[in-house]
């Protein structure tokens, strides 16, 4: 895997959507680093949020995608890591602005809140939008 890879992880509630999103990442010409889970059996979302945070820290991926039932729990787990800026998004505007204004490096989605097509739209917006910098950079620096 390279730093251009996109890491993706989910708990049991997000497993099916994760599988759909992997194909979308590949269609954008990006490498996929699948960190699990590997089926619908009950697992703990924190384990997968932490695994994704470690993959970004290690440089195995440049950005990440997390999926659980609401996107909230798994994003809280990931955001406990200093280098992670995970944003829960339910539409493309939020996904685009999370990148432009917040330099989010992780997209969190709720499989019970957004449909597959909306999730794919959010993913495309997130992965194709750059951070604007400028006045936003000053604000991001304060998070460090």
Which residues are the active-site residues? 68, 101
Structure tokens given for 143 = 């998070």
Instruction: For the sheet with 106-110, list strands across it.
Output: 32-34, 6-10, 63-68, 106-110, 86-88
Q: Are 70 and 101 in contact (CB under 8 A)?
A: no
d(C-alpha 21, C-alpha 34), whole Å: 11
43: number of Cβ within 10 Å:
18
d(C-alpha 18, C-alpha 43), whole Å: 14
Q: Are strands 6-10 and 86-88 parallel, antiparallel or unpaired?
A: unpaired
Local structure of 53: helix, strand or coil: helix
């Amino acid at each position: 895997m390279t730093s251009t890879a996109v890491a993706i992880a989910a708990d049991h509630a997000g497993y099916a959507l994760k599988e759909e999103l992997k194909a979308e990442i590949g269609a954008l010409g990006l490498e996929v680093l699948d960190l699990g889970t590997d089926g619908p059996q009950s697992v703990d979302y924190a384990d997968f949020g932490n695994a994704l945070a470690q993959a970004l820290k290690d440089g195995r991926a440049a950005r990440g995608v997390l999926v659980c039932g609401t996107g909230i729990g798994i994003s809280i787990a990931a955001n406990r890591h200093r280098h992670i800026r995970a944003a829960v998004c339910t539409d493309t505007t939020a996904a685009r602005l999370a990148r432009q204004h917040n330099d989010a490096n992780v997209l969190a989605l709720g499989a019970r809140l957004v449909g597959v097509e909306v999730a794919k739209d959010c993913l495309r917006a997130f992965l194709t939008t750059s951070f604007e910098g400028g006045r936003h950079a000053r604000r991001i620096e304060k998070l460090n």
